[in-house]
Structure 1
Amino acid sequence: MLIHLLVLDGVFDLGLAALTDTLDTANQLASTLEPAQAPAPFLLTRVGVRQRVRTAQGLSVPVVAAHSAQVPDAVLIPALGAKMPDTLSARLAKQDVGDAAEVLRHWDQQGASTGAACTASFLLAESALLNGQRATTSWWLAPSFRQRFPDVVLDESRMLVTSDRFTTAGAALAHIDLALSIVRSRSPVLAALVARYLLIEPSGSQAQFVIPDHLAHSDPVVERFEAWARQQLAHGFSLTEAATAAGTSERTLARRLQRVLGKTPLSYFQDLRIERAVHLLRTGSQSVDQIAAGIGYADGVTLRALLRRKLGRGVRELRTGH
């Protein structure tokens, strides 16, 4: 399987290494499997749209010119080193991003599948290939992504999202999940073996890592709603009261929450309850019933079920940090 790693200047060192090392490990471990379970080798080529490419830490990356490279079976894009909305926006404005988007469209027309992790999902979205598709990205960049690419169906709670021929992964170490998805498509047995060697525990969700107020601060109306909501967790939700506190109408509040966070006011209110519950479980000694009462739930059973559904973890796991 021919895989191109599309590397732009300022690439995130950890992301590039995670993709490369995961697939290299898969090639090494394939020899330990029965022939029927071992896929053909993953052939990696680092390609670029510029002759000179350096990582975010200043290391030189030798690349093959993308325009002259063979059409791959798959192309993987490691994250850009710009991690915050303002620096990422400036990085996306550079010409090499447009050139990379053109290359991606060409390879897509030739039948290549495409994967992007972390901030690279922005680069893939710039190509317009994700329009009408589902995707994920780094959780703290979700508001910026929604505003920039309204035609993409974003679910930042997911660690990995596959839609049509496109796979996007969440933040930082989700590069490994992206690489494993390629291995899994050829050999589930090999993917499981690689995960064990790299001590990777599969996780379908980024939700447990999200810091809700980091997302809310990208919009003043949403930020005012968030401040009100934190004071109301134990008292229940009222859309009318929420809109009044945010200084806007109920319809405008709902529209702003959907545009910035992709959520309804009530669902974001529930997220804040979950965040508070997790904090109390990890830092205090209150019982589950006491914590549930403190954030407006009738009993601990409801809270346990919600934690399991939202985070994929139980109370014991959250208390121990496992």
Structure 2
Amino acid sequence: MNQIARNQIKVSIVVAPDVEPWVAIGIHDAFWAVGTLWNRVMGEAESPRFCPEIVAATREPLMTGTGIRIEPHHTFTETARTDIVFVPSLLISSGAQFGRENPQLIDWVRRAHADGAHVVSACSGAYLLAEAGLLDNREATTHWAFAAAMKAEYPKVRWLADRILVSASDDHRIVTAGGATSWMDLVLYLVGAFASPEDARRLAKMSLFDWHHDGQNPYSRLTTRLQAKDKLIQECQTWLAENYAAGDPVASMIRVSGLSRRTFNRRFKAATGITPLDYVQRLRIEEAKQMLETTDQPVESVACEVGYGDTVSFRRLFKRLVADTPAVYRRRKRMPDTVREMGVMV
């Protein structure tokens, strides 16, 4: 690897066998492109602004869980100083277990932050920052699908699962990004902060990166798997999955449960984390999302099928929960016409 040039910003991308390789390599190449790719295409003198490196516990080729081999540039002991520590997404389900398996990595990230480095994470990489104690009593984000598990494991962290970028400190030296491709938002933010806004704009143009202005809500599922803590409430959830469009489904679930309304409401919220009415609304809107993605039915018809005769109320609720109108959501999620015309089944 080339030696870091004068005035270049050093970015250390930490990897372990659990890393998602496409994210780690994408981050590396995005920083490599700043001051290089645009200049090359435009016939200007190249002036790399960043020096990205892949760092790990050893220099031995690392086999990831997806079958891709990564060869690190440096080890943690060889990287004495860095400007930015970037933690890519990790294919893990517990930060504590990851910490036990990678103590040298956790310790190095802590020391790098103490030495003045900016420490950032993408998606489930927030597990590592939380395990290192860098997010205690601070705000953070992660992929919407992992938020509940992270909240349970790290209750001291204030998780904002609908956000794309969250700064955990006033000096902005700890930043977390939401799920999947939000690492691109984080790279653009860092390029703008460390190089210049113009460099960030050029990177976005060359790489076709786009900011996720509306947060994670347009991409997240409003309901996930059935809970298993309370079997009676689980039976009510199963009933609702087939009868969500019925009139007053909450009253019907109460009858199915045989409980009083007050007891049912208390047990339902204890089991699911939300009220029965909120759950009904989320389930209905999730079903509406699927219909908007896969059919050409008018919005009014979709609203009626999921239980809303008042289309105005449906549109208002959809916008509140999804952060898009039904029409915008359909345009965002439907396969482009040019692709459909090529014979791809939808």
The verdict on a shared fold, with TM-score over 0.5 as the criterion, is yes
The question of whether the paired residues in 1 share the 8 Å contact of 2:36 and 2:47 is answered with no
1:295 correspondence with 2:296 = no
Deviation at 1:22, TM superposition (A): 1.6
The question of whether the paired residues in 2 share the 8 Å contact of 1:304 and 1:315 is answered with yes
The question of whether the paired residues in 1 share the 8 Å contact of 2:34 and 2:48 is answered with no
Matched letter for residue 208 of structure 1: P
Output one character per residue of 1:270-313: Cα deviation in whole Å (capped at 9) or x when no partner: 32222122122233344323332333445222333333343343
* Larger fraction in helix: 1
| Distance verdict in 2 for CA 1:18–1:235, change over 3 Å | farther
The question of whether the paired residues in 2 share the 8 Å contact of 1:234 and 1:294 is answered with no
Output one character per residue of 1:117-161: Cα deviation in whole Å (capped at 9) or x when no partner: 122111111111111122222222222212211111222222332
The question of whether the paired residues in 1 share the 8 Å contact of 2:32 and 2:48 is answered with no
CA root-mean-square deviation: 3.4
| Distance verdict in 2 for CA 1:125–1:303, change over 3 Å | same
1:106 correspondence with 2:118 = no
The question of whether the paired residues in 2 share the 8 Å contact of 1:239 and 1:250 is answered with no
Output one character per residue of 1:40-96: Cα deviation in whole Å (capped at 9) or x when no partner: 8122222223343333324132232223423322210112244xx4xx579626431
Partner of 1:71: 81
The question of whether the paired residues in 1 share the 8 Å contact of 2:19 and 2:91 is answered with yes
The question of whether the paired residues in 2 share the 8 Å contact of 1:140 and 1:215 is answered with no
Partner of 1:232: 244
1:160 correspondence with 2:172 = no
Count, aligned residues: 310
Deviation at 1:29, TM superposition (A): 4.9
Larger deviation, residues 180-189 vs 226-235: 226-235
Q: Which has the larger radius of gyration?
A: 2
The question of whether the paired residues in 2 share the 8 Å contact of 1:22 and 1:180 is answered with no
Which SS does the other structure have where 2:218 is aligned? helix
Matched letter for residue 198 of structure 1: S
The question of whether the paired residues in 2 share the 8 Å contact of 1:243 and 1:253 is answered with no
User: Which residue of 23, 35, 39 maps to 1:27?
Assistant: 35
CA distance in 2 between counterparts of 1:197 and 1:246 reads: 61
CA distance in 2 between counterparts of 1:202 and 1:226 reads: 36
Matched letter for residue 145 of structure 1: M
Percent sequence identity is 25
CA distance in 2 between counterparts of 1:301 and 1:116 reads: 40
Which SS does the other structure have where 1:71 is aligned? coil
1:172 correspondence with 2:180 = yes
The question of whether the paired residues in 1 share the 8 Å contact of 2:99 and 2:128 is answered with no
Partner of 1:189: 198
Matched letter for residue 3 of structure 1: V
Which SS does the other structure have where 1:196 is aligned? helix
Partner of 2:142: 137
Which SS does the other structure have where 1:208 is aligned? coil
Which SS does the other structure have where 1:190 is aligned? helix
Question: Which stretches in structure 2 are left out of the alignment for 5+ residues?
Answer: 1-8, 41-45, 335-346
Within 5 Å, which residues of 2 pair with 1:41-60? 41-52=49-60, 53-56=62-65, 57-60=67-70
CA distance in 2 between counterparts of 1:103 and 1:77 reads: 12
Partner of 1:284: 295
Partner of 1:122: 127
Matched letter for residue 251 of structure 1: R
CA distance in 2 between counterparts of 1:242 and 1:92 reads: 42
CA distance in 1 between counterparts of 2:30 and 2:117 reads: 20
1:308 correspondence with 2:319 = yes
Which SS does the other structure have where 1:129 is aligned? coil
| Distance verdict in 2 for CA 1:197–1:233, change over 3 Å | farther
CA distance in 2 between counterparts of 1:287 and 1:44 reads: 49
Question: Which stretches in structure 1 are left out of the alignment for 5+ residues?
Answer: 33-37
Deviation at 1:170, TM superposition (A): 2.5
CA distance in 1 between counterparts of 2:77 and 2:186 reads: 24
* TM-score normalised by structure 2 residue count: 0.75
User: Which residue of 88, 98, 101 maps to 1:92?
Assistant: 98
* TM-score normalised by structure 1 residue count: 0.80
